[in-house]
Amino acid sequence: MSDSNNQKSDSEPSSKKIKIDHESGNNVSGIHLQLKDFILEKILNNNTNRKTVCVLGKFKDKSGVALVILEKNAFKEEDLDNEGYFSVDTELKTFFENDIYGNYECFPRSSINGIKTSIIYPATEKHIAKFSQQERHIVLETPELYQKLTLPHLEKEQFNLQWVYNILEGESEQDRIVYDNKCERDGFVLVPDLKWDGVTKETLYLLAIVRRRGLKSLRDLDHSHLPLLKRIRDEGKKKIFEKYNVPASQLRVYVHYQPSFYHLHVHFTYLRHEAPGIYVEKSHLLDTVIDNIEMKPDYYQKATLPFTIREMDNIFNIYETNGHVQRIKQDVELIDK
């Protein structure tokens, strides 16, 4: 790849995001990892609402740090029968019983009680910051702030995009591709997001990754990209209906700003699924994006766009130094008696 901004420096190790089988340790990236070899060092984030936890540690006999993300799976409706949660193998531990009410802890058979597991190894400082629990702030980014502060930062410090190019060039995850439009100008690849198991309809989550290079984010879009955006919207919805039987009216189709990686991609999620990043400070519906550009071709070059930053992000330091955000003080000031 010719773009030097997308190459890793010698000081930053390449990283692999791996979804592993928690029993066998098998993965598709050529690295054999087993959770029994993981040595916990720190809990970065325990999200009790989303039932996810991210921990930092090391694997025995391997250099570099690793992140392990564990997430409770959503209930599959097909498991709600006498062969699933109501089978003879299910055990109940009683907390209390009072008249018609009972409270228990349920232990179903192991085959329906798995935990979705992702591993990032070796993890960089950027990954550690991304998955750590920390204070967030909203920035109102004017076009001037984008050019002066945001753009120089993202060109210097964005995540490596080799994993994206591996998908687009047919070198990895080809068995996961749901749809592939090979037009280099207006084509895209539709693939399940790593946060989705690829099966459970209730948590459906796919990404449309554009084939065209050089489109980083919402800020780059103008009238020349309308055919691409409409193709993603229309063909993506059609393919999802054909494969997963989810109609267009039950799909949330949107773009993140700021995105988690700077190669243009569009999110498709089931409307009933409260996926991360669907809130107004981050999510922009694709239909609204298209409508804004049709009304004003350079809308996203002129608009003030909100986005959230976290206090461990390097870009937070840039905006703080320039007086646009203020760090929350952790120390409690004592009042003299």
Q: How confident is the model over 37-82, as pLDDT tens digits?
A: 999 999 998 887 778 899 999 999 899 999 999 988 878 888 999 9
Are 10 and 147 members of one domain? Answer: no
Are 39 and 140 members of one domain? Answer: no
Are 146 and 21 members of one domain? Answer: no
Residue 180 lies in a domain: no
Residue 208 lies in a domain: no
Domain count along the chain: 3
Q: Residue 100: which domain range?
A: 77-107
pLDDT band at 15 (very low <50, low <70, confident <90, very high): very low
Token pair recorded at residue 217: 């984010």
For the beta sheet containing 16-19, the strands, ordered from the edge strand earlier in sequence to the opposite edge, are: 16-19, 115-121, 66-72, 52-59, 38-47
Q: Using one digit for the tens of pLDDT, what is the confidence trace for 268-297?
A: 999 999 888 999 999 999 999 999 999 999
Exactly one of 137, 225, 265, 284 is catalytic; which is it? 265
Are 157 and 293 members of one domain? Answer: yes
* Single-letter amino acid, residue 149: L
Are 312 and 286 members of one domain? Answer: yes
CATH code at position 296: 3.30.428.10
The reply to whether 192 sits in an annotated binding site is no
Residue 48 lies in a domain: yes
Are 169 and 267 members of one domain? Answer: yes
Are 265 and 297 members of one domain? Answer: yes
Q: Identify the bridge partners of residue 115 per DSSP, sorted by sequence position.
A: 72
Residues 6+ apart with CB under 8 A from 141: 150, 304, 305, 306, 307
The reply to whether 225 sits in an annotated binding site is no
The reply to whether 262 sits in an annotated binding site is yes
**Domain end marker among 56, 73, 90:** 73
Residue 128 lies in a domain: no
Residue 308 lies in a domain: yes
Rounded Cα distance between 35 and 14, Å, is 21
The reply to whether 261 sits in an annotated binding site is yes
Report helix, strand or coil for 171.
coil
Rounded Cα distance between 267 and 259, Å, is 11
Residue 83 lies in a domain: yes
Residue 281 lies in a domain: yes
The reply to whether 238 sits in an annotated binding site is no
Residue 190 lies in a domain: no
Residue in the structure block whose two tokens are 């232990």: 107
Are 161 and 258 members of one domain? Answer: yes
Are 160 and 24 members of one domain? Answer: no
The reply to whether 173 sits in an annotated binding site is yes
Q: Quick check: 142 pLDDT over 60? A: yes
Are 141 and 268 members of one domain? Answer: yes
The reply to whether 135 sits in an annotated binding site is no
Are 27 and 147 members of one domain? Answer: no
pLDDT band at 112 (very low <50, low <70, confident <90, very high): confident
Are 142 and 221 members of one domain? Answer: yes
Active site residue 265: yes
